Amino acid sequence: MTLSQQRLHDRHDWWRGATLYQIYPRSFLDANGDGTGDLNGITERLDHVASLGVDAIWLSPFFTSPMDDFGYDVADYRDVDPMFGTLDDFRALVERAHGLGLRVIIDQVLSHSSDQHAWFQESRQDRTNARADWYVWADPRPDGNPPNNWMAAFGGRAWTFDARRQQYYLHNFLPSQPDLNFHHPEVQQAQLDNLCFWLDLGVDGFRFDVVNYYFHDPALTDNPPMPRERVQPGNPQSYQFQKHNIEQPENLAYLERIRALLDEYPGATTVGEIAGNDQLPTMAAYTQGESRLHMAYTFDLLGSTGDATELHDVLARYRELGEDTWPCWALSNHDVERSATSWGEERALLALTVLCSLRGSLCLYQGEELGLPEAELAYEDLQDPFGINLWPEVKGRDGCRTPMVWEDAPNGGFCLEGLAPWLPVFERHRPLAVARQDAMTDSLLARVRRLLALRGGTLLLRQGEQTLIDHANLPDGVFGVLRHDGEQRLLCLAHLGQATSDRVKIDLDALIPGADGGSSLALPGMATPLREGRQLIMEPGQAAWLHIV
């Protein structure tokens, strides 16, 4: 019996505390010899993913697309782009993943389509066709300027003039990514129907791209300026607070329609990407209760530097938003600098150890288990329009999207030697290849496998409650949480000070009065902290998980 056949008999909340593994299809493995990763390449390497002990894979877009934004500009929501394969290849991938006990979550880019989508091609013909209002169209101002001041994420105005309709259309991203008009009931239903198509093919859930971007203010009110201290001078959009182009109240009602649909497929789940100005409150609102998203993530930890105070402050803000929510925490993905660089390469394992201590679900990005640092690319090698448009102040996202390294070979085993991969393989990645680390019993990869097995086998970590320890009660540079479920308690600490920091002594009585620190869990790659009576001694870069009785 396959995993999908067993789904009705499984725990439907499998996602709660699960670990997801993000795959960027272009960069995972090239199986057809064209220098670009594909679905068959993913299927070929699913054994590696399953060996990590994760619960599910999340696939970034593989749909039909002109690839102006590498698949986040969808031209057909129900088909596979030929560069990635066919629908039959996708069916084979799902079957193989399920056979390995992996669930399959796929991206959905509902807020906008490609300008090559048949819907937009019809909509732009005139103002009276059947899909004339399926996108956000607006008349010019009397002086010919766009209808308001909204800016696009990749630079420039969020409006492009179309001579045929003599109107502007909205695009929060590239001009070739027009925004759909979710105030139109038919648009809402059309996207729900597209979700049904993939659910019926056996997928186990969706990751929703910019899930807070579906609705806009129909009055097209100007956005207010951003306080100067929050402006990123290299990014024009950061000069304004995105108040009216995203995060409208109607979004919540639509999320409830999505959840109602997913509830018809027991065990299917949702994870939303929250982007924008004040992300944590939105994440909390979008995952609150049992009628909206199952889980969501923000950029608050993505790209974090591993500073104890910064980490504490993010979790403290989230705690204030209520416990009736469920986060999906990640340190890396396809949009941000890799965590081995932002935290420091020598702290790659420490970063994942801290991540595994947190209440919520987790997401690892391909190569994070290898400790891959951010790749350094020349301008002429860039593919990402974000980086090309805003270079050199913003270098774009190609540095985290370079090919996965499977072997210490010229192309890293990603594609055949002699081929030019779509992005160059970073030379510093090659010694960290899967084959080399598989051959070592104490490699970072081996330690990550043991770490994920420890978390996966500890119900307290997967689903227990969490109390954040006030950083005023800890030495400088130390971060901590107490995970608990009834009488069971686990104290998770990490000394996040730099290598030059001093060792610290932590008074366990001060943290948990009257409690006795019991046995320490053996953390992969971490020396067990020394104990002096009721004091715990920690070195910089060390973590400790202690049972409290």
pLDDT tens digits, one per residue of 312-366: 999 999 888 876 889 999 999 999 999 999 999 999 999 999 999 999 999 999 9
Predicted confidence at residue 233, as pLDDT, reads 86
Average pLDDT, the chain: 94
**Residues composing the chain:** 549
Residue 83: partners with Cβ closer than 8 Å, 6 or more residues away: 34, 36, 38, 67
pLDDT at 426 over 70: yes
Predicted confidence at residue 165, as pLDDT, reads 98
Determine which one of 38, 73, 209, 247 is catalytic.
Answer: 209
Average pLDDT score over residue span 412-425: 96
Number of neighbours of residue 416 by Cβ within 10 angstroms: 14
pLDDT at 10 over 70: no
Average pLDDT score over residue span 284-296: 94
How far is the C-alpha of 148 from the C-alpha of 217, rounded, in Å?
11
Please report the sign of the dihedral spanned by the C-alpha atoms of residue 303, residue 306, residue 310, residue 313. Answer: positive
| 143-163 residue pLDDT tens | 999 999 999 998 899 999 999
| 259-276 residue pLDDT tens | 999 999 999 999 999 998
pLDDT at 2 over 60: no
| 499-522 residue pLDDT tens | 888 899 998 888 887 666 677 889
| 445-485 residue pLDDT tens | 999 999 999 999 999 999 999 999 998 899 999 999 999 99
185 by DSSP, 3-state: which? helix
Q: What is the enclosing helix (H) or strand (E) of 481?
A: strand 478-485
Q: What is the enclosing helix (H) or strand (E) of 449?
A: helix 444-456
How far is the C-alpha of 411 from the C-alpha of 66, rounded, in Å?
26
Q: Look at 35-49, 205-219, 420-434, 497-511 and tell me which has the smallest mean pLDDT.
A: 497-511
Number of neighbours of residue 44 by Cβ within 10 angstroms: 16
- Extract the runs of DSSP E, i.e. beta strands, from 109-158: 137-138
**Domain architecture of the chain: domains with CATH:** 3-112+184-455 (3.20.20.80), 464-548 (2.60.40.1180)
Predicted confidence at residue 395, as pLDDT, reads 84
| 216-230 residue pLDDT tens | 999 999 999 999 999
Q: Which residues of 127-137 are buried (b: 16+ CB within 10 A; e: fewer)?
A: eeeebbbbbbb
Average pLDDT score over residue span 183-192: 98
What single-letter amino acid sits at 321?
Answer: L
Alpha carbon 301 to its chain's center: 10
Task: Work out the pLDDT band at 7, boundaries 50, 70, 90.
Answer: very low
pLDDT at 409 over 70: yes
Predicted confidence at residue 221, as pLDDT, reads 98
Look at strands 295-297 and 535-538 and give their pairing.
unpaired
Please state, for a pLDDT cut of 70, what percent of the chain lies above it. 97
pLDDT at 28 over 70: yes
How far is the C-alpha of 362 from the C-alpha of 371, rounded, in Å?
17
Average pLDDT score over residue span 541-548: 94
Is 264 tagged catalytic? yes
Determine which one of 143, 229, 264, 380 is catalytic.
Answer: 264
Predicted confidence at residue 407, as pLDDT, reads 98
Q: Which residue has the tokens 């969490």?
A: 466
Phi-psi region of 541 (alpha: psi -120 to 50; beta: other; left: phi over 0): left
pLDDT at 1 over 60: no
Q: Look at 31-40, 366-375, 388-397, 409-418 and tell me which has the smallest mean pLDDT.
A: 388-397
Predicted confidence at residue 311, as pLDDT, reads 96
Is 209 tagged catalytic? yes
Predicted confidence at residue 5, as pLDDT, reads 39
The better pLDDT of the pair 37, 530 is held by 37
